[in-house]
Amino acid sequence: METAGISPVNSAVIDSAPATSPSSVVKLGAVGTRAVDGASRAPLVWERSGKDAVSALVARNYNYLPSANRFKDLGAALLERFKTDGSDYSQSLQQAPEDTDTNTYDTLLYSQLAPFHHLGDNQTGLTITTKSGTTVTLALDSSEQGVGVQVKSSGKLTDDERAALAGLSAAFQKAIDGLAAVPPKVDLSGLIKFDASVLSSVDLHSELKLNETDTQRLDFHADAKQRSVHFSGPAGEAKIAVDLSQPTSWGSKEQQAKALTTYLRQFDQAAMRGHGDAELTGLFKDAFTEMHSDYGPQPPAPWQQIKLTDQDHAILTGLADFSASITQAEKSPNPLRTSENDTFAYQTSQSTSVQGRTQLDRAISQQQQSQLKASYHEPSRPGAKLDLTEDPASQNYNFVLIDDSASSSAALAYDEGALAKATLEQSASHSTRTLKYLMDKLVDDTTIPSSAQHIRDLLDTLAPRKKPDEDQRRRTLETVNQQIFLKPEPGDIPQ
């Protein structure tokens, strides 16, 4: 059997499902079907009869793919149904209990073997709410025992709503495939770009079982006012939340791209200084980029709303306000000192304020901050190998503790339309404590602090007595904009 857009599967697998009512559990395929690893397994049963494209994929994925990859093409297929069909849908395929009598197998009733939903080791759910208030939920389950998919709608969908849902099919599948990849990827850019004229919000939840003890989770939400993502796994967790309620403070695409580059560089610097996990940091950077990739069209501003000028935007990053954090799972690599943990925790945020009764007395300010706390073990001699055991001879190492913070605050204020205040205040502090051990003995405990703070008056720069020409003015604003970003290194702050 071959369906448009679907890879061919063994037609005998689908055709062997007898035509029965949806309330029956029916036999699929021959008894003793081979599993992916080649081992024989129990008979398989469908939740319901079906020769549709989704059922074909369920059969193909269960028979030929490992558990963590059994959502391949299924997310897209479930949403593509809305191109021609707005009805609910439910299907599952699972192994019968090992003690099932195969002679009476075809007579099993629905009440004796419940459909395989919300039971899988791996679960992915998508919830979409339309502007009219209708909620559509998709649920996908998989494990070694079975595969299940469901689509439910709280009400009748219009043609435009069904088209908007179908339009997310590729985006949903990319998100699923990214999370199942090795190493995993965060690919939410397509879901972020949902049709806001028809849909009001999109939520994604995913749980993938990596082994007997570890599960990888992700939660994503997007609507017109905010978007957020939270993912966690054995390496640690990260959270990013973006506030879209102040579009007047957003900069141009070019300004936003420069700001993203600056922030990603800061994340790399923090990871290098604190010995952060490269894979987790990479996921964090990808997610941060996607959360800021496309804010959508700015809504029409009310006539009385304060409008920002190029000069105002010069003291802003151009990005929407956000909070972001990454926390690495603690490790205890030294069996003789289990209280010495390798840790990494980094957080950063931005908040913007636009105030004033009128355009002539407006005040704009933006605060950026970051904090890094980390600890790690390293060899006491450069180039040496770190292999900590209970043998005192192996206990030659440094235990390093990092405690850093940085902030940047820019502000403008106008009086009767004239710039009356323009300031930039920046600070950064580093603390590096190093405990040095030789042959299991603490031989040195040193803390090196450093800090810097600078307050700069930008009034003469932005409002000089002699009015500059257009080109000079543009260069001045670009220079100011480059200076307002966080400077995590104390040595980078001018004195």
Q: Which tops the pLDDT comparison, 300 or 111?
A: 300
Task: List the beta bridge partners of residue 226.
Answer: 243
pLDDT of residue 300: 65
pLDDT value of residue 17: 40
Cα 312 to Cα 316: distance, rounded to the nearest angstrom: 7
Please say if the pLDDT value at position 461 is more than 90.
yes
Tens digit of pLDDT for each residue in 384-423?
999 999 999 999 999 999 999 999 999 999 999 999 999 9
Question: What band does 14 get if pLDDT is binned at 50, 70 and 90?
Answer: very low
Tens digit of each residue's pLDDT (9 = 90 or more) over 156-185: 999 999 999 999 999 999 999 999 888 889
**What pLDDT was estimated at residue 110?**
41
**Do residues 318 and 248 touch, judged by C-beta distance below 8 A?**
no
Q: Would you say residue 345 lies in a domain? A: yes
For residue 318, the tally of other CB atoms under 10 A from its CB is 20
Secondary structure (3-state) at 17: coil
Alpha helix positions (H), 34-140: 53-64, 74-80
Task: Specify which residues 221 forms β-bridges with.
Answer: 203, 228
Rounded to an integer, the average pLDDT of 424-438 is 98
Q: What is the pLDDT of residue 3?
A: 36
Note the helical H segments in 22-144: 53-64, 74-80
Average pLDDT over residues 352-367: 95
Rounded distance, CA 70 to CA 53, Å?
15
pLDDT band at 365; cut points 50, 70, 90 = very high
What is the arithmetic mean of pLDDT over 20-32? 35
The answer to whether residue 432 is domain-embedded is yes
Q: How high is the pLDDT of residue 386?
A: 93
Give residue 460's domain range: 225-495
pLDDT at 484 over 60: yes
**CA-CA distance, 124 to 216, in Å (whole number)?**
11
Number of domains in the chain: 1
**How confident is the model at residue 112, as a pLDDT?**
53
Rounded to whole angstroms, how far apart are CA atoms 175 and 255?
Answer: 27
204 falls within a domain: no
Residue 74, in any domain of the structure: no
Residues 6+ apart with CB under 8 A from 36: 63, 64, 65, 66
Helix or strand holding residue 153 (H, E): strand 146-153
| Residue positions counted in the chain | 495
CA dist., res. 457 & res. 410, Å (int): 10
* Residue found by looking up tokens 């629905």 in the block: 110
Higher pLDDT, residue 42 or 331: 331
Helix, strand or coil, per DSSP, at residue 190: helix
DSSP letter string over 247-296? GGG---HHHHHHHHHHHHHHHHHHHHHHT--HHHHHHHHHHHHHHTS---
Q: Note whether residue 275 is domain-resident.
A: yes
Categorize the per-residue pLDDT at 27 as very low, low, confident or very high, splitting at 50, 70 and 90: very low
**Alpha-carbon gap, residue 143 to 149, rounded angstroms:** 12
- Provide the pLDDT for residue 102: 53
Query: What is the mean pLDDT of the segment spanning 276-300?
Result: 90
Least confident of 92-101, 109-118, 203-212: 109-118
Compute the 3-state secondary structure of the chain and give helix, strand, coil in percent, each to the nearest 5: 25, 35, 40
**Other beta carbons less than 10 A from residue 237's beta carbon:** 16
Region 471-485: what's the mean pLDDT?
A: 96
At residue 302, the pLDDT reads 62
Q: What DSSP designation does 32 have? A: T
In a domain, 231, yes or no: yes
User: Where residue 24 falls among pLDDT bands split at 50, 70, 90?
Assistant: very low
Three-state secondary structure call for residue 55: helix
Please state, as a whole number, how many other Cβ atoms lie within 10 Å of the Cβ of residue 394: 17
Candidates 17, 21, 46, 23; CA nearest to 110 is 23
Examine residue 379 and state whether it is found in any structural domain, yes or no.
yes
Tell me how crowded residue 492 is: count the other CB atoms within 10 A of its CB. Answer: 12
Whether residue 33 is predicted with pLDDT greater than 50 in this model: the reply is no
Percent of the chain with pLDDT over 90: 74
103: CB partners within 8 A, 6+ apart: none
Is 51 domain-assigned?
no
